[in-house]
Each structure stands twice: as C-alpha cells, then as structure tokens.
C-alpha cells in the first residue's frame, strides 16, 4: 500500500494564494510609505512637463519646417505626453489616490 503522507505539507493552494496576497499588500504599503513624502513634488513636476509639451508644439510650428519633420516631432511629443499620463496614473494607483488632481 502506498503512503503519500510525506507529500502533504498541510498547505493548500488557497492558503498559498492568501500568503501571496498578504505579501503583495505589505509590499504596496511599504512602497506607499516610501513615495508619500515626495509624491506632491513628483506630481507637480509631471504637470509642469505636460504643460511644457504644449509650448514645445508651438515652438516647432514654423513656416519653413518640412511637413515630415513636423509630423515626426509632433508624434514624439504625443508619445511623451502619453507616457507622462501613464506615469502619473501608475503613481496615483500605487499611492492609492483617486483623480484628485
């Protein structure tokens, strides 16, 4: 007769999953504590960068600029703006904030 007692550790997949969830929650709280003091400075900097993109667009629009160069520059600035929005949203999620800004 086969004896499989040694294979049973007493932990089920549910208990392992709960352990992982608790660990993630502790990591999130730890990250929040580390980022909270500098959060306002970071959010202000991101807002400043987003506003500077608008002025950069106006600086690039000139009469002698080739259409191809203008399109590529505008596309790059659009990608940068999308990156900043994503970064801001990720930081808000990490800090557990809603859209307060």
Q: What is the reported pTM?
A: 0.61
Structure tokens at 16: 């392992």
- Indicate the SS3 state at residue 3: coil
Domain extent listing, the chain: 5-95
Q: Is pLDDT at 85 greater than 90 in this prediction? A: yes
Burial call 38-66: b when 16+ CB within 10 Å, e when fewer: eeeeebeebeeeeeeeeeeeeeeeeeeee
pLDDT tens per residue, range 28-50: 888 888 878 888 888 899 999 98
Q: What is the mean pLDDT of the chain?
A: 82
Q: Using N-to-C axis directions, what is the helix angle for 67-95 and 39-60, rounded to 10°?
A: 170
Distance from C-alpha of 57 to C-alpha of 65, rounded to nearest angstrom = 12
Task: Tell me what pLDDT residue 86 has.
Answer: 94
The pLDDT confidence band at residue 10, using thresholds 50, 70 and 90, is low
């Amino acid at each position: 007769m086969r004896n499989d007692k040694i294979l049973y550790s007493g932990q089920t997949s549910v208990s392992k999953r709960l352990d992982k969830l608790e660990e993630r929650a502790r990591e999130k709280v730890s990250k929040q504590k580390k980022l909270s003091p500098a959060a306002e400075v970071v959010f202000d900097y991101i807002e400043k960068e987003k506003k500077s993109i608008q002025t950069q667009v106006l600086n690039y629009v000139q009469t002698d600029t080739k259409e191809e160069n203008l399109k590529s520059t505008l596309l790059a600035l659009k990608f940068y703006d999308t990156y900043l929005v994503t970064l801001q949203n990720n930081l808000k999620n990490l800090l557990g904030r809603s859209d307060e800004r």
